[in-house]
């Protein structure tokens, strides 16, 4: 069995406009603060027992990191509540409400590396790529769209130079019982700049996040910012990408893994 890491490293990067902030209560500050808290608690109870920094090996306590991290930074899944208030006429679900068994399923990798930046991935593209894999698509399979854009990871162009899913191609997969679709680009739709330019040029609002907004009609999950899809075979592997169990969130970071047996 081979485990293929399909996640990017979460760190501040020019590829993402969002930022991570980590505040670490380190070993030495932590030792002082913890002993101070114990002291205050015991004093309030007139308890003479003490805990001192010297009581820890090397005078160092254990750390505590507090993280500020947008839910859509790094490799993550988008929950239906991200797309809109409702999905399929019901209140749209958050990450903690999604069925766990959607996130551990047979995978298929579709080769879309010929798609150019700014282009739509069409129904024909999906159809042709699927044919090449000789994989027989079944409901709940996890479909991974391999565009090769992760080669730009670490560069500014990662954010602006990528193809994106069309509404029709998304619908085609959802019609076949697919619930989780992953892509190795910043966003599932075409880049922000491309969508906005096309909207301003034509006045056609369907240029704006067509795949995301399709999620208001039909419930599906997308994984954004996958990596290393070139390390996977086209078919014959499982994908594990469980979201964290955090109440009401619109998205969740995932450690996406391809399990090749």
Residue ranges that bind Zn ion, judged by CB under 5 A: 72, 78, 224, 251
What does the alpha-carbon distance between residue 113 and residue 30 come to, in Å, rounded to a whole number?
A: 49
- Shortest Cβ 144–Zn ion spacing (Å): 16
Tell me which residue of 219, 212, 254, 178 sits closest to 93, measured CA to CA: 219
Q: Which of 168, 180, 109, 170 is nearest to 140 (CA)?
A: 180
Give me the least distance between CB of 17 and Zn ion, in Å please. 13
Instruction: Tell me the three state secondary structure of residue 227.
Output: coil
Query: Smallest distance from the beta carbon of 252 to Zn ion, in angstroms?
Result: 10
Q: How many CB atoms are located within 10 Å of the residue 156 CB?
A: 12
Between 31 and 226, name the residue whose CB sits nearer to Zn ion: 226
CB 99 within 8 A of CB 224: no
CB atoms within 10 A of CB 200: 10
Residue 254 beta carbon to Zn ion: minimum distance, rounded to whole angstroms: 11
Query: Which CB sits closer to Zn ion, 229 or 251?
Result: 251
User: Nearest approach, Cβ of 46 to Zn ion (angstroms)?
Assistant: 53
Q: Select 121 or 211, whichever has its Cβ closest to Zn ion.
A: 211
Nearer to Zn ion, 161 or 224 (CB): 224
Residue 157 or 250 with smaller CB distance to Zn ion: 250
Cα 2 from Cα 113, distance rounded (Å)? 24
Nearest residue (beta carbon) to Zn ion:
72
């Amino acid at each position: 069995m081979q485990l293929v890491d399909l996640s990017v490293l979460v760190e501040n990067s020019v590829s993402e406009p969002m930022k991570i902030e980590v505040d670490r209560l380190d070993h030495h500050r932590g030792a002082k603060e913890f002993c101070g808290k114990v002291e205050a608690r015991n004093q309030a109870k007139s308890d003479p027992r003490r805990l001192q920094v010297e009581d820890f090996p090397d005078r160092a306590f254990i750390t505590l990191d507090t993280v500020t991290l947008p839910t859509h930074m790094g490799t993550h899944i988008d929950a239906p509540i991200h797309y809109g208030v409702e999905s399929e006429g019901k209140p749209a679900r958050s990450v903690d409400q999604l069925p766990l068994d959607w996130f551990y399923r047979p995978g298929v990798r579709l080769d879309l590396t010929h798609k150019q930046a700014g282009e739509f991935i069409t129904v024909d593209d999906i159809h042709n790529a699927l044919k090449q894999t000789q994989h027989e698509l079944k409901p709940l399979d996890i479909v991974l769209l391999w565009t090769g854009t992760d080669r730009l990871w670490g560069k500014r162009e990662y954010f602006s130079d990528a193809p994106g899913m069309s509404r029709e191609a998304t619908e085609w997969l959802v019609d076949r019982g697919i619930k989780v679709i992953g892509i190795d680009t910043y966003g599932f739709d075409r880049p922000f700049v491309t969508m906005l330019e096309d909207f301003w040029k034509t006045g056609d609002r369907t240029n704006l996040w067509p795949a995301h907004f399709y999620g208001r009609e039909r419930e599906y999950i997308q994984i954004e910012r996958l990596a290393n899809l070139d390390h996977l075979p086209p078919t014959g592997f499982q994908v594990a990408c469980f979201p964290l169990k955090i109440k009401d969130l619109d998205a969740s970071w995932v450690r996406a893994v391809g399990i090749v047996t």
